[in-house]
């Protein structure tokens, strides 16, 4: 007894399952994220820290800010080029990046990340209503 049919069925099933990412994306042109800088952000030239750091570590920074403000009580952060910032998502970050939808969400959606910032913070107005 060989049970070739059963083995073949199993193999096909296995290969189909294992190649899921290959065929799942077929015919779907994935939209690459294109975060937009507002005019204000463009004008600022640089962020709190260098761009490469911000790309990878912004969540760390925000976390640190929250802890220092809420638990430490200090509000001043010395950033890139020794510039001082008010540690505030609402008053600092979103002042430049007013366009959450076109800026934050663009990458977060792409990488399937769901930050819980907005469980406490108010979402910027532009995002409201459009949801």
Partner 1 sequence: MSFNFSFYFALFTVVGLIAVVLIGVGAHLQFLFGVVIPYLAVLIFFVGLLYRVVKWARSPVPFRIPTTCGQQKSLPWIKYNKLESPFTNFWAAVRVALEVLCFRSLFRNTKVVLTKGGPKLSYFSDKWLWLGAIVFHYSFLVVLLRHLRFFTQPVPSFVQLLEKVDGFFEIGVPGLFVSGVVLFVAVTYLLLRRITIPQLRYISLPADYFPLFTIMAIAFTGILMRYFFKVDIVAVKKLTLSLVTFHPEVPEGIGGLFYVHIFLVSVLFAYFPFSKLMHMAGVFLSPTRNLPNNSRAARHINPWNPVVKVHTYEEYEDEFREKMKAAGIPVEKE
Site residues (vs partner 1, CB under 8 A): 1-4, 7-8, 10-11, 14-15, 18-22, 24-25, 28, 30-33, 52, 55-57, 59-60, 62-63, 107, 110-113, 115-116
Nearer to partner 1 among residue 22 and residue 43 (C-beta): 22
The residue behind tokens 């609402």 is 90
CA 60, 37, 77, 71 dihedral sign is negative
Q: Minimum distance from CB of 119 to partner 1 (Å)? A: 10
Nearer to partner 1 among residue 115 and residue 128 (C-beta): 115
Q: Minimum distance from CB of 25 to partner 1 (Å)? A: 5
- Dmax (CA) of the chain: 78
Q: Minimum distance from CB of 33 to partner 1 (Å)? A: 6
Nearer to partner 1 among residue 30 and residue 76 (C-beta): 30
Q: Minimum distance from CB of 112 to partner 1 (Å)? A: 4
| Residue 3 Cα distances to 8, 11, 30, angstroms | 9, 12, 41
Nearer to partner 1 among residue 8 and residue 128 (C-beta): 8
Q: Give Cα 89 to chain centroid, integer Å.
A: 14
User: Where are the strands (E) in 64-130, listed by range?
Assistant: 76-78, 84-86
Q: Residues 44, 80, 115, CA angle at the centre, nearest 5°?
A: 80
């Amino acid at each position: 007894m060989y049970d070739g049919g059963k083995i073949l069925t199993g193999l096909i099933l296995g290969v189909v399952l294992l190649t899921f990412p290959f065929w799942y994306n077929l015919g779907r042109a994935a939209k690459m994220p294109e975060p937009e800088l507002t005019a204000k952000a463009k004008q600022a030239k640089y962020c709190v820290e260098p761009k490469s750091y911000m790309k990878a570590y912004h969540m760390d920074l925000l976390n640190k800010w929250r802890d220092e403000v809420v638990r430490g009580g200090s509000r001043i952060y010395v950033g890139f080029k020794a510039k001082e910032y008010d540690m505030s998502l609402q008053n600092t970050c979103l002042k430049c990046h007013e366009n959450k939808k076109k800026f934050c969400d663009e990458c977060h959606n792409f990488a399937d990340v769901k930050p819980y910032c907005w469980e406490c913070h108010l979402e910027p107005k532009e995002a409201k209503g459009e949801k």
